[in-house]
């Protein structure tokens, strides 16, 4: 009998412990930067009419792990859209401007 702890099988599932007191963080904005060895993602909240985003979490990972995350996000997005329909992104200006700036006033309107 071996006293070695069992290693997860290659390609097997990893057990993940979620603490019962874990508070979720809402983020609707991210700033992504990198160095030669790491990718840094700052997750933030942007509120309408507020000119500054509040960073709530910073995640630092290797480029290898960032690429695995990108692959997983693509796979999950494909499943999400297959179930709920395509998520359509606005064209043109930045997404932040589309979501958080008031529309320009229409000079031809009566109001």
The predicted pLDDT at position 16 comes to: 92
The predicted pLDDT at position 48 comes to: 85
Instruction: Summarize pLDDT for 39-61 with one digit per residue, the tens.
Output: 999 999 988 888 888 899 999 99
Q: Please choose, from the candidates 13, 48, 14, the residue with its C-alpha nearest in 3D space to the C-alpha of residue 28.
A: 48
pLDDT of residue 111 exceeding 90: no
Q: pLDDT class for 107, splitting at 50, 70, 90? A: low
pLDDT of residue 85 exceeding 80: yes
The predicted pLDDT at position 47 comes to: 87
Please give the Cα distance from 44 to 27 (Å, whole number): 5
Tell me the mean pLDDT in the region 11-40: 91
pTM of the model: 0.67
Domain boundaries, the chain: 29-87
pLDDT of residue 38 exceeding 70: yes
The predicted pLDDT at position 99 comes to: 59
Q: Please choose, from the candidates 43, 50, 38, 9, the residue with its C-alpha nearest in 3D space to the C-alpha of residue 26.
A: 43
Tokens of 90: 């606005």
């Amino acid at each position: 009998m071996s006293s070695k702890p069992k290693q997860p099988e290659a390609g097997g599932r990893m057990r993940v412990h979620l603490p019962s007191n874990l508070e979720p963080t809402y983020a609707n904005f991210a700033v992504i930067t990198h160095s030669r060895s790491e990718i840094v993602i700052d997750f933030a909240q942007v509120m309408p009419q507020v000119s500054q985003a509040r960073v709530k979490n910073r995640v630092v990972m290797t480029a290898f792990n960032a690429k695995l995350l990108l692959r997983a996000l693509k796979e999950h997005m494909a499943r999400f859209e297959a179930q709920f329909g395509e998520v359509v992104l606005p064209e043109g200006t930045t997404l932040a401007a589309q979501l958080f700036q008031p529309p320009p006033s229409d000079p031809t309107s009566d109001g």
